[in-house]
Structure 1
Amino acid sequence: MQLSRFTDIGLRAIMRLAVSDEADGRVTTRLIARQVNASEHHVAKAVSRLIDLGLVQAQRGRTGGLFLTEAGRSVSIGWLIRELEGDREVVVCEGDYPCPLVSGCRLRRALAEAKQAFYRELNRYTLEELVDAPTAGLLRLLATSAAGGSVNKELS
């Protein structure tokens, strides 16, 4: 199963926010976009969805920025991906070109069970676990990088 770009960017953004602290200063959509190598427009859309889900809070104004909520810190990764992806089928058997095997096919059920196993496995992990070492070190490097440039440049 391949995740959409939207979900990928949403995961990058929330992981970046998970390592933010007061010393980081103001974390904005523009800053996250630079730090996770994504367009500001795409990050803004993903962050908007994270706000709708109650995982991120946005504060306007000069001292504003983006902040992870308590729900965001403990969110199950399986739940989060399901919410970002939508609960669509792995294959679409109906539609403009319906599959002629749909009435007796076992593949659809096998794929549905595999999708459930995928989410069940991801439900074992929380955001806090994902941003533990060594990922935390890389995310903090991004967070403290003044230019928000490439990690490789920072490590050289």
Structure 2
Amino acid sequence: MRLLRSTDLALRVLMRLAVTGDDPAATPTTRDVAAAMDVPYTHTAKVVAELQHLGLLEARRGRGGGLALTGTGRTASVGAVVRAFEGDGDVVDCEGSVPCPLRSACRLRGALRRAQEAFFASLDPLTLADLVADPTGPLLLGVSPPPRADGTFETRPSCIDPQRC
């Protein structure tokens, strides 16, 4: 099974915020997180909006604003986050525009569904705290740019042109 890019990005955003801690001076903006992870701002903004909708993070605008995990976000199951982004649909589309002729007697669909659920179930006991425990947390902090004196983060140029990065 392969995760959607939005799922991967959601987990990385949550992990990044988990290592920031409760320090209000270290609340990065969506743009800061996108730059630190070297991903497009527009993709990050969509993922942040969905994470906010799910109640996992809060986004504050304006001076002193930024992203912060909610209490729910700190204790959320990784499996629940992955389910929310991946959806709980079937792995294969047997009822698509050209329905599979084997759909009435196929065992593959059920086997794939059980495998998908086993995948999610293996992630259910994990929390963000588990994901950012040593040695990952300190590494995440090292990858992220340090906050400036005013609490904002230095942004890097876009790496679309490798000559500039």
TM-score (normalizing by structure 1): 0.89
Distance in 1 of aligned mates of 2:116 and 2:98: 23
Matches within 5 A, 1:1-156: 1-21=1-21, 22=23, 25-145=26-146, 147=154
Does the CA contact (< 8 Å) of 1:3 and 1:85 recur in 2?
Answer: yes
Does the CA contact (< 8 Å) of 2:56 and 2:69 recur in 1?
Answer: yes
After superposition, the C-alpha distances for 1:7-34 in whole angstroms (9 at most, x for unaligned) are: 1111111110111132753400111001
Give the unaligned 5+ runs of structure 1: 150-156
Distance in 1 of aligned mates of 2:75 and 2:41: 26
Distance in 1 of aligned mates of 2:71 and 2:138: 21
Does the CA contact (< 8 Å) of 2:27 and 2:68 recur in 1?
Answer: no
Distance in 1 of aligned mates of 2:75 and 2:145: 24
Distance in 1 of aligned mates of 2:55 and 2:87: 16
Distance in 2 of aligned mates of 1:20 and 1:144: 12
Q: How many residues align?
A: 149
Distance in 2 of aligned mates of 1:106 and 1:6: 30
Distance in 1 of aligned mates of 2:25 and 2:155: 12
Shift of 1:137: 1.2
Letter in 1 for 2:98: Y
TM-score (normalizing by structure 2): 0.85
Aligned to 2:159: none
Task: Report the aligned-residue RMSD.
Answer: 1.5
Does the CA contact (< 8 Å) of 1:76 and 1:124 recur in 2?
Answer: yes
Letter in 2 for 1:104: A
Q: Structure 1 residues 22-31 or 12-21, which shifts more?
A: 22-31
Shift of 1:142: 2.8
Does the CA contact (< 8 Å) of 2:6 and 2:85 recur in 1?
Answer: yes
Q: Structure 1 residues 139-148 or 82-91, which shifts more?
A: 139-148
